[in-house]
Structure 1
Amino acid sequence: MPETSGDVLRQLREALLAKAHDEGFVAAGIADAATDPLRTDRLADWLGEGRHATMQWMEDRADQRAAPQVLWPEARRVIALGMSYAPHADPLALAACPDRARISVYAQGRDYHDVVKKALKRLARWLVEEAGRAGLEAGVKVFVDTAPVMEKPLGEAAGIGWQGKHSNMVSRAHGSWLFLGSIYTTLDLPVDDAHADRCGSCRRCLDACPTDAFPAPRTVDAGRCISYLTIEHKGPIPEEFRAALGNRIYGCDDCLAVCPWNSFASAAAANRAFLPSAELVAPRLDELMALDDAGFRALFSGSPIKRIGRDRFVRNCLYAAGNSGDAALLPQVEALRGDPDPAVAEAADWAAARLGG
Structure 2
Amino acid sequence: MVNAGATSGLEQRIEAQAKELGFVSVGFTCAEEDPLRSQRLEEWLGEGRHASMEWMENRLHHRRSPQGLWPEAKSVIALGMSYAPALDPLGLEDEGARARISVYAQGKDYHDVVKKRLKALARWLVDAVPDTELKVFVDTAPVMEKPLGEASGIGWQGKHTNLVSPDHGSWLFLGAIYTTLELEPSHPHRDQCGSCRACLNACPTDAFPNAYTIDAGRCISYLTIEHKGPIAEEFRGPLGNRIYGCDDCLAVCPWNKFASEAYAASEFLPRAELTAPRIGELLGLDDAGFRKLFSGSPIKRIGRDRFVRNCLYAAGNSGDEGLIGPVDELLSDPDPAVADAAGWAKARLSGA
User: TM tier, shorter chain?
Assistant: over 0.9
Question: Which residue identity lines up with residue 61 of structure 1 in the other structure?
Answer: R
What SS does the corresponding residue of 1:96 show, helix, strand or coil? coil
Match of 1:101 in 2: 99
Corresponding residue for residue 51 of structure 2:
53
3-state DSSP class of the match of 2:38? helix
Shift of 1:10: 4.0
Structure 2 length-normalised TM:
0.98
- Residue in structure 2 matched with residue 68 of structure 1 by the alignment: 66
Aligned partner of 1:296 in structure 2 is 290
| 2:337 counterpart of 1:339 | no
Match of 1:313, SS? helix
Matched, 1:314 2:305: no
Q: Considering only aligned residues, what root-mean-square deviation do their CA atoms show, in Å?
A: 1.1
Are the equivalent residues in 2 in contact too, given 1:230–1:316 (CA < 8 A)? yes
Residue 166 of structure 1 corresponds to 160
Match of 1:251 in 2: 245
Gaps of at least 5 residues in structure 1 are none
Looking at structure 2, the residues matched to 300 and 8 of structure 1 have their Cα atoms a distance apart, in angstroms, of 44
Post-superposition Cα deviations, 1:7-39, rounded to whole Å, max 9, x if no partner, equal 653422111110000111000000010110011
**SS of equivalent residue, structure 2 residue 257:** helix
Corresponding residue SS for 1:339: coil
Is structure 2 residue 211 aligned with structure 1 residue 213? no
Q: CA deviation at 1:343?
A: 0.3
Q: How far does the alpha carbon of each residue in 1:246-300 deviate from its partner, in whole angstroms, 9 at most, with x for none?
A: 0000000000000000000001000110000000000000000000000000000
* Number of equivalent positions: 350
Q: 1:43 maps to what in 2?
A: 41
Q: Report the residue type matching 1:345 in the other structure.
A: A
CA distance in structure 2 between the partners assigned to 1:226 and 1:6 by the alignment:
50
Distance across 1 between alignment mates of 2:4 and 2:41: 34
Whether 1:195 aligns to 2:228 is no
Listed as ranges, the matches of 1:112-151 within 5 Å are: 112-132=110-130, 137-151=131-145
The alignment's TM-score, normalised by the length of structure 1, stands at 0.97
Q: Which residue of 1 aligns with 2:17?
A: 19
Sequence identity (%): 69
Amino acid at match of 1:98: G
Whole-angstrom distance in 2 between the partners of 1:65 and 1:98? 40
- Inter-partner Cα distance in structure 2 for 1:224 and 1:316: 15
Kindly indicate whether the alpha-carbon contact (under 8 Å) linking 1:161 and 1:170 is maintained by their aligned counterparts in 2.
yes
The answer to whether the Cα contact below 8 Å between 1:10 and 1:190 also exists between their aligned partners in 2 is: no
Q: Is the 8 A contact 1:12 1:131 kept in 2?
A: no
Could you tell me how far apart the structure 1 residues matched to 2:3 and 2:325 are? Answer: 71
| 1:325 matched to 2:319 | yes
1:125 offset after TM fit, Å? 1.1
Contact 1:9 1:188 in 2 (8 A): no
Please point out which of 275, 278, 282 is paired with 1:281: 275
Question: 3-state SS of the aligned residue for 1:181?
Answer: strand
The residue type equivalent to 1:64 in the other structure is H
* Residues 81-123 of structure 1 deviation map (CA, whole Å, 9 limit, x = unaligned): 0000000010000011000000000000000000000110110
Contact 1:226 1:245 in 2 (8 A): yes
Contact 2:76 2:179 in 1 (8 A): yes
